[in-house]
Amino acid sequence: MCSRFLRFAGLVGLVLLVQRFWPLPSLFRGWESASIARLDDLCPQVEGLTPATHEALLQSLDQEFGSTEFKLKAYESLGGAVRIPTESYDDLGLPSEDPRWEIETKFHEYLESRFPKVHANLKRTKVNTYALVYEWKGSENVKPLLLAAHMDVVPVNPTTYDDWINPPYSGYYDGEWIWGRGSCDDKPGVIGSLTAIETLLERGFEPSRTVLLAFGIDEEAGGKVGAGAINKYIIETYGPDSIAMIVDEGGGYDDLGGTVFATPGVAEKGYMDIRMDVLTPGGHSSRPPKHTGIGILADLITELEVHPHEPELVRGRTYHQGLECRAKYDTSFPASMRKLVQQSQTSDAKLRELQDVLIDFDPMFYAMSGTTQAIDLVGGGVKVNALPEAVWAVANYRIVDHSSPAELTDRFIDITLPVAAKHNMTLDAFGKMVGSQGPSWGTIRLSDAFDSALVPAPVTPTTGSRPYELLSGTIRSTLETHLRTDGLPMTAVVSPGLMTEMKTLRHVCTDADTRFYWNLTKHIFRYGHRGGADGYNGAHTINEAIRGEGFLEQIRFFSRLILNADQSDLLE
């Protein structure tokens, strides 16, 4: 035994000696991690992009942007915009008929007065009466850069006025925050891009690439009146697939473990509202059936809620790409998860294991990697002693990016059909009779509540795509030269983000307008360049406010993007 051990030990020593002077092939080296993808291969980054031909102009702009005079003027430009309550309502009529649209005229006049050089040098077109498209004509025949934003805001509930630290339409700057509805969503997009262009015009800059500004008026109500009409105008004027890239509101950036992660939205979940109507015979409440229509509806809702959509981590999809970036660059990311992310590149078993871990690790995992379901509306019944003849509910769905409305409705029918059979009800599923067609006690009718079905957005190309490289380089150069005084790290990483009406990191990620722009370009980026700590209390709620320094960085981003797009060969 001892001699065999010594011979084995000698062999091991010989192997180690040979390895010391003559490394063995990689097949034998690192066998323990052979199934793990190289961390270096994950989440490739581009260098910060600075326009070489405009470098002196850029430095001069940053000097001006850092001055107190410029900051106060810019903050007041946003504050003045906030003071005009361009509220958007779900029941707005046509712009030519509903007087509530007229507040947009006042907003137009404000923009004219605040940005005189823009209105003297750019062609402005009013689309569908109140939406705006500005054209800054370039000298070269190349595809334009389009910067999009929306001028409307969600209404403020009058009962909450007293809960605001500063009045909701004050536009007050208190030395740190600019207060009021729209200060985050999305008047910084409007005022920030106009401020950038006004400043460039003051410097005598003339673009070689045309820059378009597209400002919607009803993004908070679906975007059809504004962005829908803007799409038609651009198609008629420039044609389909005529835009080099589009940047609209969306993701932002956050400090994670000493590295700033920026997450431009490159994918967007689909959408659908499904209405459930339960129609039953009426009658007196003193002689009720075993289950009233409300009881049947409750049974249906219960079945939906006990069969939620399960999340699925899909290799190569946007959420998984974001994990790759965190595994590589986020020093606070757990080592065990970093290894799982690496292994999940090639192992389905490790991909499932990573999914199981994410359920507890990331509170956003369910919402980001699966179709979400929320029963939000319910109604029915007219009197306490009368059996309800018609009751209804509406379920809201945000469809995961690898699914579809058709897949959702098929699943919905599968869950509903047993409930209909249980209560001897006919099932009218989206206009088609399903299941037993014999005599029944009533009808369950399923329908698209508001003609709302929307497939998930086409995924914007990322790694290896030149427009993505342009955007990434611009984001990194803006972050790595920021003028903030709050200690934000200069080290920056750009990671693909998934858009949905929720918070990613700390950014409200929602954009109803870009769905109308899919035929203009495949390079659509939903990115607002705002820090996670730059919103006082988020959007769509009380005490909406933006940090002044955060808004200043948005202006810097727009300026750099315009200059980079102007001289770069990364765009068509």
Strand pairing category for 502-504 and 507-509:
antiparallel
CB-based contacts of 153, cutoff 8 Å, min separation 6: 85, 86, 87, 88, 181, 182, 185, 187, 220
In 3D space, the residue among 248, 140, 213 whose CA is nearest the CA of residue 567 turns out to be 140
Catalytic residues: 152, 219
Binding residues: 150, 185, 220, 248, 540
Question: Greatest CA span in the chain, whole angstroms?
Answer: 100
- CA torsion sign for 465, 466, 472, 476 is positive
Are the CB atoms for 181 and 504 separated by under 8 Å?
no
Q: How far is CA 24 from CA 9, 21, 37, 238, 404, in A?
A: 19, 9, 20, 61, 50
Phi-psi region of 421 (alpha: psi -120 to 50; beta: other; left: phi over 0): alpha
Binding residues for Zn(2+): 150, 185, 220, 248, 540
Element counts in the chain: helices (H) and strands (E): 15, 20
Are the CB atoms for 88 and 107 separated by under 8 Å?
no
Distance CA 338, CA 344 (A): 10
Are the CB atoms for 393 and 293 separated by under 8 Å?
no
User: Count of CB atoms within 10 A of residue 208's CB?
Assistant: 13
For residue 238, give the 3-state DSSP assignment.
coil
User: Count of CB atoms within 10 A of residue 414's CB?
Assistant: 11
Q: Token digits for 458?
A: 């086409």
Q: How far is CA 96 from CA 101, 230, 469, in A?
A: 8, 16, 43
Q: How far is CA 500 from CA 122, 147, 510, 522, in A?
A: 33, 20, 5, 19
Distance CA 559, CA 384 (A): 63
CB-based contacts of 113, cutoff 8 Å, min separation 6: none
